[in-house]
Structure 1
Amino acid sequence: MEIKGERVVLRPATGQDAEKLHEIVREPAVAAWWAPLEGFEGMLAVVHDGEVVGAIQYDEELDEDYRHASIDVFLSGRHQGRGLGTDAVRTLARWLVQERGHHRVTIDPAAANAAAIRCYGKVGFKPVGIMREYERDPLTGEWRDGLLMDLLARELAD
Protein backbone atom coordinates (compact mmCIF):
# COMPACT_ATOMS: atom_id res chain seq x y z
CA MET A 1 0.00 0.00 0.00
CA GLU A 2 1.29 3.43 -0.93
CA ILE A 3 -0.75 6.62 -0.59
CA LYS A 4 0.51 9.61 -2.55
CA GLY A 5 -0.05 13.16 -1.42
CA GLU A 6 1.08 16.36 -3.11
CA ARG A 7 4.53 16.31 -1.46
CA VAL A 8 4.64 13.16 0.65
CA VAL A 9 4.14 9.45 0.19
CA LEU A 10 2.68 7.33 2.99
CA ARG A 11 3.74 3.68 3.07
CA PRO A 12 3.81 0.98 5.73
CA ALA A 13 6.72 1.46 8.14
CA THR A 14 9.13 -1.46 8.18
CA GLY A 15 11.94 -2.67 10.37
CA GLN A 16 14.32 -0.80 8.05
CA ASP A 17 12.65 2.46 9.19
CA ALA A 18 13.04 1.66 12.89
CA GLU A 19 16.33 3.43 13.54
CA LYS A 20 15.24 6.60 11.72
CA LEU A 21 11.82 6.74 13.42
CA HIS A 22 13.33 6.17 16.87
CA GLU A 23 15.83 8.95 16.13
CA ILE A 24 13.02 11.32 15.11
CA VAL A 25 10.94 10.58 18.23
CA ARG A 26 13.97 11.44 20.41
CA GLU A 27 14.32 14.92 18.83
CA PRO A 28 13.28 17.63 21.33
CA ALA A 29 10.59 19.01 18.97
CA VAL A 30 8.96 15.57 18.84
CA ALA A 31 9.81 14.12 22.28
CA ALA A 32 7.82 16.91 23.93
CA TRP A 33 4.65 15.42 22.44
CA TRP A 34 5.39 11.75 21.70
CA ALA A 35 6.44 8.87 23.94
CA PRO A 36 9.15 6.50 22.69
CA LEU A 37 7.88 4.08 20.06
CA GLU A 38 7.17 0.49 21.04
CA GLY A 39 6.33 -0.92 17.63
CA PHE A 40 5.30 -0.05 14.12
CA GLU A 41 2.05 -1.99 13.75
CA GLY A 42 -0.36 0.13 11.74
CA MET A 43 2.20 2.91 11.34
CA LEU A 44 2.88 4.49 7.97
CA ALA A 45 6.21 6.13 7.18
CA VAL A 46 5.93 9.70 5.89
CA VAL A 47 8.38 9.96 2.99
CA HIS A 48 9.46 13.23 1.35
CA ASP A 49 11.96 13.29 -1.52
CA GLY A 50 12.87 9.67 -0.76
CA GLU A 51 13.62 10.32 2.93
CA VAL A 52 11.59 9.09 5.92
CA VAL A 53 10.68 12.33 7.72
CA GLY A 54 8.15 11.00 10.22
CA ALA A 55 5.23 8.65 10.69
CA ILE A 56 1.46 8.73 10.69
CA GLN A 57 -1.00 6.13 11.94
CA TYR A 58 -4.72 5.59 12.02
CA ASP A 59 -7.26 3.59 13.93
CA GLU A 60 -10.80 2.70 12.94
CA GLU A 61 -14.00 2.24 14.93
CA LEU A 62 -16.00 -0.14 12.77
CA ASP A 63 -19.26 -0.33 14.78
CA GLU A 64 -21.75 1.05 12.25
CA ASP A 65 -23.43 3.23 14.88
CA TYR A 66 -20.13 4.94 15.80
CA ARG A 67 -18.02 4.38 12.67
CA HIS A 68 -15.10 6.81 12.36
CA ALA A 69 -11.33 6.89 12.12
CA SER A 70 -8.61 8.66 14.09
CA ILE A 71 -5.14 9.89 13.11
CA ASP A 72 -1.81 10.53 14.92
CA VAL A 73 1.29 11.99 13.27
CA PHE A 74 4.82 13.17 13.99
CA LEU A 75 7.49 14.75 11.80
CA SER A 76 11.16 15.46 12.30
CA GLY A 77 11.77 18.95 13.68
CA ARG A 78 13.63 20.03 10.56
CA HIS A 79 10.62 19.08 8.44
CA GLN A 80 8.02 20.84 10.58
CA GLY A 81 6.54 24.15 9.45
CA ARG A 82 6.97 23.32 5.75
CA GLY A 83 3.49 21.99 4.96
CA LEU A 84 4.54 18.34 4.98
CA GLY A 85 2.49 17.51 8.09
CA THR A 86 -0.56 19.19 6.56
CA ASP A 87 -0.06 17.18 3.37
CA ALA A 88 0.39 13.92 5.31
CA VAL A 89 -2.73 14.47 7.45
CA ARG A 90 -4.84 15.60 4.46
CA THR A 91 -3.63 12.63 2.38
CA LEU A 92 -4.48 10.08 5.07
CA ALA A 93 -7.81 11.75 5.93
CA ARG A 94 -8.79 11.74 2.25
CA TRP A 95 -7.85 8.06 1.98
CA LEU A 96 -9.87 7.21 5.10
CA VAL A 97 -12.90 8.99 3.64
CA GLN A 98 -12.62 7.87 0.01
CA GLU A 99 -11.18 4.38 0.34
CA ARG A 100 -12.32 3.27 3.79
CA GLY A 101 -15.73 4.96 3.74
CA HIS A 102 -15.46 7.04 6.92
CA HIS A 103 -17.66 10.10 7.24
CA ARG A 104 -15.75 11.46 10.26
CA VAL A 105 -12.08 11.54 11.29
CA THR A 106 -10.72 12.65 14.67
CA ILE A 107 -7.33 13.82 15.89
CA ASP A 108 -6.34 14.67 19.46
CA PRO A 109 -3.24 16.84 19.91
CA ALA A 110 -2.07 18.07 23.29
CA ALA A 111 -4.05 21.25 23.99
CA ALA A 112 -0.76 23.18 24.28
CA ASN A 113 0.58 21.99 20.90
CA ALA A 114 -0.29 25.13 18.93
CA ALA A 115 1.70 24.13 15.83
CA ALA A 116 -0.12 20.81 15.51
CA ILE A 117 -3.50 22.46 16.05
CA ARG A 118 -2.75 25.00 13.27
CA CYS A 119 -1.67 22.17 10.96
CA TYR A 120 -4.85 20.19 11.53
CA GLY A 121 -6.99 23.29 11.12
CA LYS A 122 -5.52 23.79 7.63
CA VAL A 123 -6.85 20.36 6.69
CA GLY A 124 -10.31 21.28 7.99
CA PHE A 125 -10.31 19.76 11.49
CA LYS A 126 -12.44 21.73 13.96
CA PRO A 127 -12.03 21.86 17.75
CA VAL A 128 -14.68 19.83 19.57
CA GLY A 129 -13.54 20.29 23.16
CA ILE A 130 -10.86 19.93 25.77
CA MET A 131 -10.26 16.49 27.25
CA ARG A 132 -8.99 17.26 30.74
CA GLU A 133 -5.91 15.43 31.99
CA TYR A 134 -6.11 13.34 28.84
CA GLU A 135 -2.56 12.04 28.49
CA ARG A 136 0.73 11.87 30.33
CA ASP A 137 3.47 14.22 29.23
CA PRO A 138 6.21 11.88 27.92
CA LEU A 139 8.96 14.00 29.50
CA THR A 140 7.52 14.89 32.92
CA GLY A 141 4.89 12.21 33.49
CA GLU A 142 2.39 14.92 34.46
CA TRP A 143 -1.16 14.73 33.14
CA ARG A 144 -1.95 17.25 30.42
CA ASP A 145 -5.05 18.26 28.53
CA GLY A 146 -5.82 17.16 24.99
CA LEU A 147 -7.87 18.90 22.33
CA LEU A 148 -10.34 16.72 20.50
CA MET A 149 -10.73 17.84 16.89
CA ASP A 150 -12.83 16.28 14.18
CA LEU A 151 -13.37 16.53 10.47
CA LEU A 152 -16.48 15.54 8.55
CA ALA A 153 -15.98 14.20 5.06
CA ARG A 154 -17.76 17.19 3.52
CA GLU A 155 -15.38 19.59 5.33
CA LEU A 156 -12.15 18.09 4.01
CA ALA A 157 -10.10 20.98 2.62
CA ASP A 158 -8.26 20.59 -0.69
Structure 2
Amino acid sequence: MEKTLKGALVLLRPTVPEDIPVLATIRATPEVYATWRGGDDLLAAVTEDLDEPGLTSLVVELDGATVGAIQWGAEEDPDYRHANIDIYLDPAAHGRGVGTDAVRTLARHLITDLGHHRVVIDPAADNAAAIRCYGKAGFKPVGIMRDYERGPDGTWHDGLLMDLLAADLLAADPDPTG
Protein backbone atom coordinates (compact mmCIF):
# COMPACT_ATOMS: atom_id res chain seq x y z
CA MET A 1 0.00 0.00 0.00
CA GLU A 2 1.33 3.40 -0.97
CA LYS A 3 1.89 5.86 1.86
CA THR A 4 0.35 9.32 2.14
CA LEU A 5 2.62 12.07 0.80
CA LYS A 6 2.47 15.71 1.89
CA GLY A 7 3.44 18.51 -0.47
CA ALA A 8 3.51 22.25 0.09
CA LEU A 9 -0.14 22.55 -1.03
CA VAL A 10 -1.45 19.05 -1.55
CA LEU A 11 -1.88 15.75 0.18
CA LEU A 12 -1.47 12.64 -1.97
CA ARG A 13 -3.16 9.62 -0.43
CA PRO A 14 -4.05 6.11 -1.56
CA THR A 15 -7.24 5.96 -3.61
CA VAL A 16 -10.13 4.06 -2.02
CA PRO A 17 -13.38 2.87 -3.66
CA GLU A 18 -15.30 5.78 -2.12
CA ASP A 19 -13.18 8.16 -4.24
CA ILE A 20 -14.39 6.69 -7.54
CA PRO A 21 -17.56 8.82 -7.99
CA VAL A 22 -15.70 12.10 -7.31
CA LEU A 23 -12.84 11.14 -9.65
CA ALA A 24 -15.34 10.11 -12.35
CA THR A 25 -17.03 13.51 -12.02
CA ILE A 26 -13.66 15.24 -12.47
CA ARG A 27 -12.86 13.01 -15.47
CA ALA A 28 -16.22 14.04 -17.00
CA THR A 29 -15.33 17.75 -17.09
CA PRO A 30 -14.72 18.76 -20.71
CA GLU A 31 -11.13 19.88 -20.03
CA VAL A 32 -10.15 16.56 -18.43
CA TYR A 33 -12.24 14.34 -20.69
CA ALA A 34 -10.55 15.83 -23.77
CA THR A 35 -7.22 14.27 -22.77
CA TRP A 36 -8.17 11.38 -20.45
CA ARG A 37 -11.42 10.23 -22.05
CA GLY A 38 -12.62 6.86 -20.74
CA GLY A 39 -15.71 6.07 -22.76
CA ASP A 40 -19.32 6.36 -21.69
CA ASP A 41 -18.80 4.77 -18.25
CA LEU A 42 -16.30 6.91 -16.36
CA LEU A 43 -17.00 5.06 -13.11
CA ALA A 44 -15.70 1.92 -14.82
CA ALA A 45 -12.75 3.81 -16.34
CA VAL A 46 -11.63 5.14 -12.94
CA THR A 47 -12.09 1.69 -11.40
CA GLU A 48 -9.94 0.16 -14.17
CA ASP A 49 -7.19 2.69 -13.38
CA LEU A 50 -7.22 1.48 -9.76
CA ASP A 51 -7.11 -2.17 -10.77
CA GLU A 52 -4.45 -1.88 -13.49
CA PRO A 53 -1.44 -4.05 -12.57
CA GLY A 54 1.77 -2.11 -12.06
CA LEU A 55 -0.04 1.22 -11.65
CA THR A 56 -0.43 3.05 -8.35
CA SER A 57 -3.15 5.70 -8.12
CA LEU A 58 -3.25 8.43 -5.49
CA VAL A 59 -5.92 11.03 -4.80
CA VAL A 60 -4.82 14.66 -4.91
CA GLU A 61 -6.36 16.57 -2.00
CA LEU A 62 -6.33 20.34 -1.59
CA ASP A 63 -7.63 21.76 1.68
CA GLY A 64 -9.29 18.41 2.46
CA ALA A 65 -11.16 18.17 -0.86
CA THR A 66 -10.46 15.71 -3.67
CA VAL A 67 -9.30 17.68 -6.71
CA GLY A 68 -7.85 14.94 -8.88
CA ALA A 69 -5.68 11.87 -9.19
CA ILE A 70 -2.03 11.21 -9.84
CA GLN A 71 -0.68 7.82 -10.76
CA TRP A 72 2.66 6.21 -11.33
CA GLY A 73 4.14 3.07 -12.76
CA ALA A 74 7.66 1.79 -13.23
CA GLU A 75 9.88 -0.03 -15.67
CA GLU A 76 11.67 -2.52 -13.42
CA ASP A 77 14.26 -3.93 -15.87
CA PRO A 78 17.48 -2.92 -14.08
CA ASP A 79 19.06 -1.65 -17.30
CA TYR A 80 16.12 0.68 -18.02
CA ARG A 81 14.61 1.23 -14.56
CA HIS A 82 12.61 4.44 -14.22
CA ALA A 83 9.18 5.65 -13.10
CA ASN A 84 6.42 7.45 -14.97
CA ILE A 85 3.71 9.83 -13.78
CA ASP A 86 0.27 10.83 -15.05
CA ILE A 87 -2.11 13.34 -13.47
CA TYR A 88 -5.52 14.92 -13.92
CA LEU A 89 -7.01 17.74 -11.88
CA ASP A 90 -10.38 19.38 -11.57
CA PRO A 91 -10.26 22.49 -13.79
CA ALA A 92 -11.26 24.55 -10.72
CA ALA A 93 -7.81 23.72 -9.27
CA HIS A 94 -5.88 24.74 -12.41
CA GLY A 95 -3.54 27.73 -12.35
CA ARG A 96 -2.90 27.59 -8.60
CA GLY A 97 0.28 25.51 -8.43
CA VAL A 98 -1.62 22.37 -7.39
CA GLY A 99 -0.40 20.27 -10.32
CA THR A 100 3.19 21.40 -9.94
CA ASP A 101 3.14 20.59 -6.22
CA ALA A 102 1.50 17.19 -6.78
CA VAL A 103 3.95 16.19 -9.53
CA ARG A 104 6.97 17.46 -7.56
CA THR A 105 5.80 15.66 -4.40
CA LEU A 106 5.31 12.33 -6.17
CA ALA A 107 8.58 12.67 -8.13
CA ARG A 108 10.48 13.33 -4.89
CA HIS A 109 8.94 10.19 -3.36
CA LEU A 110 9.82 8.09 -6.40
CA ILE A 111 13.41 9.32 -6.33
CA THR A 112 14.22 9.62 -2.62
CA ASP A 113 12.08 6.84 -1.16
CA LEU A 114 11.90 4.31 -3.99
CA GLY A 115 15.32 4.88 -5.55
CA HIS A 116 14.38 5.79 -9.10
CA HIS A 117 17.06 7.83 -10.86
CA ARG A 118 14.71 9.10 -13.58
CA VAL A 119 11.02 9.98 -13.77
CA VAL A 120 9.18 10.65 -17.04
CA ILE A 121 5.91 12.34 -17.97
CA ASP A 122 4.39 12.67 -21.43
CA PRO A 123 1.90 15.50 -22.02
CA ALA A 124 0.35 16.19 -25.39
CA ALA A 125 2.79 18.34 -27.34
CA ASP A 126 0.16 21.08 -27.68
CA ASN A 127 -0.76 21.11 -23.97
CA ALA A 128 1.16 24.27 -23.04
CA ALA A 129 -0.32 24.50 -19.54
CA ALA A 130 0.75 20.96 -18.62
CA ILE A 131 4.22 21.49 -20.08
CA ARG A 132 4.64 24.69 -18.02
CA CYS A 133 3.41 22.87 -14.90
CA TYR A 134 5.86 20.00 -15.32
CA GLY A 135 8.69 22.40 -16.14
CA LYS A 136 8.06 24.22 -12.86
CA ALA A 137 8.36 20.85 -11.11
CA GLY A 138 11.82 20.42 -12.70
CA PHE A 139 11.02 18.25 -15.72
CA LYS A 140 12.94 18.96 -18.93
CA PRO A 141 11.78 18.30 -22.51
CA VAL A 142 13.47 15.29 -24.07
CA GLY A 143 11.77 15.20 -27.46
CA ILE A 144 8.63 14.93 -29.51
CA MET A 145 7.00 11.53 -29.89
CA ARG A 146 5.29 11.82 -33.28
CA ASP A 147 1.73 10.51 -33.66
CA TYR A 148 1.95 9.34 -30.06
CA GLU A 149 -1.71 9.09 -29.08
CA ARG A 150 -5.10 9.11 -30.71
CA GLY A 151 -7.18 12.17 -29.88
CA PRO A 152 -10.93 12.30 -29.35
CA ASP A 153 -11.28 13.33 -33.00
CA GLY A 154 -9.74 9.99 -34.07
CA THR A 155 -6.52 11.47 -35.43
CA TRP A 156 -3.05 10.91 -34.07
CA HIS A 157 -1.35 13.67 -32.06
CA ASP A 158 2.21 14.27 -30.95
CA GLY A 159 3.36 13.88 -27.35
CA LEU A 160 6.26 15.52 -25.55
CA LEU A 161 8.51 13.27 -23.52
CA MET A 162 9.82 15.08 -20.44
CA ASP A 163 12.06 13.73 -17.69
CA LEU A 164 13.43 14.60 -14.30
CA LEU A 165 16.71 13.11 -13.14
CA ALA A 166 17.40 12.47 -9.48
CA ALA A 167 20.54 14.61 -9.60
CA ASP A 168 18.56 17.56 -11.00
CA LEU A 169 15.84 17.28 -8.34
CA LEU A 170 18.29 16.98 -5.47
CA ALA A 171 20.48 19.82 -6.78
CA ALA A 172 17.48 22.15 -7.10
CA ASP A 173 15.99 21.30 -3.70
CA PRO A 174 18.27 19.10 -1.56
CA ASP A 175 16.19 19.47 1.63
CA PRO A 176 12.56 20.45 1.07
CA THR A 177 11.89 20.47 4.82
CA GLY A 178 14.72 22.80 5.72
What's the TM-score once normalised by structure 2's chain length? 0.85
- Aligned mate of 2:35, from 22, 33, 44: 33
In structure 2, the residue matched to 1:16 is 18
The answer to which structure has the higher helix fraction is: 2
In structure 1, the residue matched to 2:77 is 63
Between the two structures, name the one with larger relative contact order (CA 8 Å, sep ≥ 6): 1
Q: Whole-Å Cα distance in 1 between the matches of residues 4 and 137 of structure 2?
A: 20
Q: Whole-Å Cα distance in 1 between the matches of residues 153 and 15 of structure 2?
A: 28
Q: Whole-Å Cα distance in 2 between the matches of residues 95 and 13 of structure 1?
A: 17
Give the greater-gyration-radius structure (CA): 2
**How much does 1:63 deviate?**
1.1
Q: How much identity, in percent, do the aligned residues show?
A: 59
**How much does 1:141 deviate?**
2.3
In structure 2, the residue matched to 1:73 is 87
Helix, strand or coil at the partner of 1:112: coil
Q: For structure 2, which runs of at least 5 residues remain unmatched after alignment?
A: 174-178
Q: For structure 1, which runs of at least 5 residues remain unmatched after alignment?
A: none
Backbone CA RMSD of aligned residues: 1.1
Q: CA deviation digits over 1:63-113, x for unaligned, max 9?
A: 111110000001000001100000000000000000110010000000010
Q: Whole-Å Cα distance in 1 between the matches of residues 60 and 27 of structure 2?
A: 13
**How much does 1:154 deviate?**
1.4
Q: Whole-Å Cα distance in 2 between the matches of residues 72 and 124 of structure 1?
A: 15
Q: Whole-Å Cα distance in 1 between the matches of residues 139 and 90 of structure 2?
A: 22
Q: Whole-Å Cα distance in 1 between the matches of residues 155 and 59 of structure 2?
A: 29
Report the number of matched residues: 157
Letter of the structure 1 residue corresponding to residue 161 of structure 2: L
Q: Whole-Å Cα distance in 2 between the matches of residues 123 and 51 of structure 1?
A: 22
Instruction: Flag as ranges the 4+ runs of structure 1 deviating above 3 A.
Output: none
- Aligned mate of 1:50, from 32, 40, 64: 64
